[in-house]
């Protein structure tokens, strides 16, 4: 049976986690839930997300080299921001996961059926191109390119976490970004 701890945010500090770490097994994972309630500020504003995306270095050819400046910028932030970035990335991909965008994508690539991976990687490219293009495609699905993909952006939070902590990033965002996950907008 799982143990549930309800702790006031003001009581969370490094000592709390050090003490907790001594009481549980090394491989124990904990889950932190923040209940939906009006908050004073957005935990990870869109502006911060797009500043990281803007660090992608398109003068490079290899995806790892393109990502590196963004990975470094994200890794320089508190580790919680890496988790929040991963959630924000999934949210942006989810927003583009619609029937309208899928149909526009199919017209671009000249196919009859959507490849769930290819459509995801095309949505990744939309996000990687930055805020302006993302907003354009969000408003006008016909603006999506069927030729551009950038699957590697999915590795950005992983790379930042590994750079910051030296450990593998084992996190599933709170929103599913896979193709057809946005059920309401595919009906």
The predicted pLDDT at position 150 comes to 97
Domain assignment present for 149: yes
Q: Residue 156 is part of which domain span?
A: 44-186
Domain assignment present for 124: yes
Angstrom distance (rounded) from CA 25 to CA 93: 35
**Structure token pair of residue 115:** 């490849």
pLDDT mean across residues, the chain: 90
Which range of 25-29, 36-40, 121-125, 143-147 scores highest in mean pLDDT? It is 121-125
The set of residues, in sequence order, having a beta carbon less than 8 Å from that of 66 and lying 6+ positions away, is 56, 57, 58, 60, 152
Q: How many separate domains does the chain show?
A: 1
Domain assignment present for 7: no
CB of 77 closer than 8 Å to CB of 83:
no
The band of 146, judged by pLDDT with boundaries at 50, 70 and 90, is confident
The predicted pLDDT at position 35 comes to 67
Domain assignment present for 4: no
Domain assignment present for 150: yes
* Crossing angle for the helix pair 79-95 and 63-75, to the nearest 10 degrees: 130
Higher model confidence: residue 42 or residue 70? 70
Cβ neighbours of 111 (radius 10 Å): 13
Higher model confidence: residue 103 or residue 4? 103
3-state secondary structure of 9: helix
Domain assignment present for 93: yes
Cβ neighbours of 20 (radius 10 Å): 13
Res 19 pLDDT > 90 = no
The band of 9, judged by pLDDT with boundaries at 50, 70 and 90, is confident
The predicted pLDDT at position 46 comes to 95
- 83-104, pLDDT tens digit by residue? 999 999 999 999 999 999 999 9
Run of H or E residues at 71: helix 63-75
Angstrom distance (rounded) from CA 27 to CA 25: 6
From the centroid of its chain, how far is CA 4?
Answer: 27
- 54-84, pLDDT tens digit by residue? 999 999 999 999 999 999 999 999 999 999 9
Higher model confidence: residue 7 or residue 125? 125
CB of 86 closer than 8 Å to CB of 175:
no
Domain assignment present for 173: yes
Domain assignment present for 26: no
C-alpha distance from residue 154 to each of 49, 146, 157 (Å): 14, 18, 7
* pTM of the complete model: 0.81
The predicted pLDDT at position 1 comes to 62
């Amino acid at each position: 049976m799982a143990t549930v701890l309800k702790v006031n945010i003001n009581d969370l500090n490094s000592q709390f986690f050090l003490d907790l770490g001594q009481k549980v097994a090394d491989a124990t994972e904990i889950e932190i839930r923040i209940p939906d309630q009006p908050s004073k500020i957005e935990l990870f504003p869109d502006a911060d997300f797009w500043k990281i995306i803007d660090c992608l270095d398109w003068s490079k050819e290899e995806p790892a080299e393109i990502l590196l400046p963004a990975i470094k910028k994200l890794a320089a932030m508190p580790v919680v921001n890496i988790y929040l970035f991963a959630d924000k990335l999934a949210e942006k991909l989810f927003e583009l996961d619609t029937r309208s965008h899928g149909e526009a994508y199919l017209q671009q690539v000249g196919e009859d059926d959507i490849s769930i991976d290819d459509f995801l990687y095309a949505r990744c490219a939309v996000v990687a191109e930055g805020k302006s293009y993302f907003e354009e495609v969000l408003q006008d699905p016909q603006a999506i390119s069927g030729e551009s993909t950038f699957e590697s952006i999915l590795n950005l939070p992983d790379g930042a976490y590994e750079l910051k902590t030296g450990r593998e990033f084992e996190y599933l965002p709170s929103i599913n970004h896979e193709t057809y996950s946005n059920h309401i907008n595919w009906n």
